[in-house]
Amino acid sequence: MVLRKNIFPRTKGEYLSTGSNVIFTPLNYYVFNFVVLPQYWTMWSEEYTKHFIISSFLTFMMCSNMLALVLCDTTVKGRFPALNKTRKDEWKYCDKCQTSMPPRSWHCTICNTCILKRDHHCFFTSCCVGFHNHRHFMMYLFYTALTTMYASYFNFRYAYDTTDVEYTWMTLVKLLFPMLSVFFIKWSLHHLYLLVIFETFAFGLMCCFMLVWCGYFISRNMVIFDKEHSKRYRKSVMENVQVVFGRKWYLVWQGPWVSSELPCDGTHWDKYM
């Protein structure tokens, strides 16, 4: 795996979205394990430890896939130095990067580089999703969806049990918009927990939606960035899935360190047409 050199956000939007991701991930872990769970089970009792181990495992898998996604370099730059503007086939030339790029590769204006089989730019991790890190992105989505939905089941129970007020419209505001409630209602640590609980659920919902949406694209060997043009690369679902997850696609859930060789090099797409 070639490592990316600059993994930091580049725009204000990225600082905001990636920053909130970096802050809320450990906050969610803390609130779930040390605020919500102890409400129902004694710390380190058998039941508590069971949930602690499950949530720790899911969080670990989520973070390791995110790290692999962010660290993996999937750029075109420097990979094809000998090629030039004169190529007449489907290869393109990027003036900004001064490099030739194969079909399905595109220049990302945020990363300011060309990305091999570019899918889209992810603002929550400040990196582009392309040929070499698409698998890590999908596994990150999968484990984030699982972690947040698992936590939300207990989180909502906690939010309901501990919000000791009459159920009026203002309660709804308190529950749905903990941020807004800060302006109307007295601020407390409990509101911070509610904020984390609802942020976790909202982020989890978005990941579930993304998982289904991106899964649909992968099953057809399409990319989000180039929907129309990429329709022509469609093969059987199994072959399409292997383009992203590799030949050992059934093992990638075990972690980013499991090797799964990709069936093509991201450069030659003739056999998929």
Q: Which residues form the interface with Zn ion (CB under 5 A)?
A: 94, 96-97, 107-108, 110-111, 114, 121, 128
Least Cβ distance, residue 118 to Zn ion (angstroms): 8
Q: Which is nearer to Zn ion, 73 or 199 (CB)?
A: 73
Least Cβ distance, residue 12 to Zn ion (angstroms): 15
Q: Distances from the Cα of 60 to the Cαs of 87, 110, 114, 127, in angstroms?
A: 45, 29, 31, 20
Least Cβ distance, residue 211 to Zn ion (angstroms): 20
Q: Which is nearer to Zn ion, 12 or 186 (CB)?
A: 12
Per-residue buried b or exposed e for 30-41, using 16+ beta carbons within 10 Å of the residue's own CB: ebbbebbbeeee
Positive/negative CA dihedral, 30, 35, 38, 39: negative
Which uninterrupted H or E stretch holds 114?
strand 113-115
**Rounded Cα–Cα distance for residues 251 and 200 (Å):** 27
Least Cβ distance, residue 98 to Zn ion (angstroms): 8
* Pair 265, 245: CB distance under 8 Å: no
Q: Which is nearer to Zn ion, 105 or 200 (CB)?
A: 105
Q: Which is nearer to Zn ion, 51 or 136 (CB)?
A: 136
Q: Which is nearer to Zn ion, 27 or 67 (CB)?
A: 67
Least Cβ distance, residue 224 to Zn ion (angstroms): 12
**Rounded Cα–Cα distance for residues 47 and 43 (Å):** 9
